[in-house]
């Protein structure tokens, strides 16, 4: 299944894509794509719910993040060898874990707001994993795969001056509002080759990142199983699995984002995002 949420910020309605340009509104039967939906095996019910319904065009409607605000956003750092190299960091022997504030999630085409004091705003295209069932201490790869509901495209936006130059944890440079554009679509686990998905990102039309999930240091299954040893994963939780090389931090010119820049990204099977950088205003 391919899920979307349509409508103004804070009033999105759940829908199901029937082709690249049309969706069916299921908001009369599904309150939202949230923890309750995933926990109750809502994906299995959707085919019957969309039968015979009128399809609506996606054109000229706002597309929100395809899942509701999750219980937590968990992130994996330095998960591509070349990105670790450009960050002057050792390739980790265990996943490097940090979090983002759940309320920093935004839609795939919403503006990215540079916070006050921002000077090193960066981009990171990543494969996002959505958890489908409450999971703890997963014992093997099969149980980790079963815990995955599906996948989304995300941009792990980072303010490097907050992340690396201020004392404390990375979360400060990762959690400002709009710092996790998500979507446009959620794709269920069975409909995407998540082990060999291509990722790319451009800034003002210039290719900055291009890689494939097969180059991850720790693959998706390993990450899910690993995290479950340290925390309970809840339905609807989002895991950002790391970014490949090409971020501004690792470039010789350190071409950080500025107001007016246009960031576009995509992951094969998961659609594309287009966001514009704007300065914060009261």
Asked if 77 and 60 sit in the same domain, the reply is no
Asked if 143 and 217 sit in the same domain, the reply is yes
Q: How many other CB atoms sit within 10 Å of the CB of residue 259?
A: 15
Question: Which pLDDT score, from 0 to 100, does residue 189 have?
Answer: 97
Question: Which pLDDT score, from 0 to 100, does residue 88 have?
Answer: 87
Asked if 85 and 155 sit in the same domain, the reply is yes
Instruction: Please tell me the total count of domains within the chain.
Output: 2
**CA dist., res. 158 & res. 120, Å (int):** 8
Closest residue by Cα to residue 238 from 1, 23, 66, 47: 66
Question: Which pLDDT score, from 0 to 100, does residue 64 have?
Answer: 98
The three-point CA angle 180-4-131 to 5° equals 60
DSSP calls for the chain? -EEEEESSTT--EEEEEEETTEEEE-TTT---SSHHHHHTTHHHHHHHHHTTPPPEE-TTS-EE-SSPPPS-EEEEES-BHHHHHHTT-PPPSS-EEEEE-GGGEE-TTSPEEEPTT---EE--EEEEEEE-S-B-S--SHHHHHHTEEEEEEEE--EEHHHHHSSSS-GGGGT-STT-EEB-S-EEEGGGS-GGG-EEEEEETTEEEEEEEGGGBSS-HHHHHHHHTTTSPBPTT-EEE----S--GGGSTT---B-TT-EEEEEETTTEEEEEEEEE---
Asked if 167 and 275 sit in the same domain, the reply is yes
Question: Which pLDDT score, from 0 to 100, does residue 150 have?
Answer: 98
Burial class (CB in 10 A: 0-12, 13-18, 19+), 162: buried
Asked if 23 and 144 sit in the same domain, the reply is no
* Both tokens assigned to 165: 């130059």
Question: Which pLDDT score, from 0 to 100, does residue 167 have?
Answer: 84
Asked if 173 and 231 sit in the same domain, the reply is yes
Asked if 121 and 256 sit in the same domain, the reply is yes
**CA dist., res. 238 & res. 132, Å (int):** 10
Mean pLDDT (10-residue bins), the chain, 282 residues: 97 97 96 98 94 93 98 96 90 96 98 97 98 98 98 98 91 97 98 97 98 97 98 98 96 96 98 98 88
Asked if 43 and 152 sit in the same domain, the reply is no
Examine the fold and report which residue of 31, 64, 97 is the final residue of a domain before the chain moves on: 64
Q: How many other CB atoms sit within 10 Å of the CB of residue 102?
A: 17
Closest residue by Cα to residue 6 from 236, 156, 183: 183
Cis amide prior to 184 (ω within 30 degrees): yes
Strand partners, 198: 212
Asked if 108 and 33 sit in the same domain, the reply is no
Examine the fold and report which residue of 64, 90, 117 is the final residue of a domain before the chain moves on: 64
Question: Which pLDDT score, from 0 to 100, does residue 282 have?
Answer: 83
Asked if 120 and 19 sit in the same domain, the reply is no
pTM: 0.97
Question: Which pLDDT score, from 0 to 100, does residue 163 have?
Answer: 95
- Domain range for residue 24? 2-64
Q: How many other CB atoms sit within 10 Å of the CB of residue 278?
A: 15
Examine the fold and report which residue of 18, 40, 64 is the final residue of a domain before the chain moves on: 64
Question: Which pLDDT score, from 0 to 100, does residue 130 have?
Answer: 98
Q: How many other CB atoms sit within 10 Å of the CB of residue 4?
A: 26
CATH number, residue 260: 3.90.850.10
Asked if 164 and 247 sit in the same domain, the reply is yes
Asked if 110 and 139 sit in the same domain, the reply is yes
Question: Which pLDDT score, from 0 to 100, does residue 168 have?
Answer: 83
């Amino acid at each position: 299944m391919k899920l979307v949420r349509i409508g103004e910020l804070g009033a999105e309605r759940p829908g199901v894509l029937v082709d690249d340009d049309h969706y069916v509104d299921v908001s009369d039967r599904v309150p939202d794509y949230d923890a309750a939906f995933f926990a109750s095996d809502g994906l299995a019910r959707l085919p019957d719910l969309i039968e015979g319904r009128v399809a609506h065009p996606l054109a000229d409607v706002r597309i929100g993040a395809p899942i509701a605000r999750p219980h937590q956003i968990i992130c994996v750092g330095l998960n591509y060898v070349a990105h670790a190299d450009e960050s002057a960091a050792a390739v980790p022997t265990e996943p490097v874990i940090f979090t983002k504030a759940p309320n920093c999630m935004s839609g795939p085409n919403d503006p990215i707001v540079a916070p006050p004091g921002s000077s090193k705003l960066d981009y990171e295209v990543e494969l996002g994993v959505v958890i489908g069932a409450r999971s703890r201490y997963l014992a093997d790869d099969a149980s980790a795969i079963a815990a995955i509901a599906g996948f989304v495209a995300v941009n792990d936006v980072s303010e490097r001056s907050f992340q690396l130059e201020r004392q404390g944890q990375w979360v400060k440079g990762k959690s400002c509002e709009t710092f996790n554009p998500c979507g446009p679509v959620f794709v269920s686990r069975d409909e995407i080759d998540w082990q060999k998905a291509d990722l790319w990102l451009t800034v003002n039309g210039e290719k900055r990142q291009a890689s494939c999930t097969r180059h991850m240091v720790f693959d998706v299954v390993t990450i899910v199983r690993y995290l479950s040893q340290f925390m309970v994963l809840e339905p609807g939780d989002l895991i950002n699995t790391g970014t490949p090389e090409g971020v501004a931090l690792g470039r010789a010119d350190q071409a950080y984002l500025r107001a007016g820049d246009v960031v576009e990204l995509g992951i094969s099977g998961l659609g594309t995002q287009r966001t514009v950088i704007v300065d914060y205003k009261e």
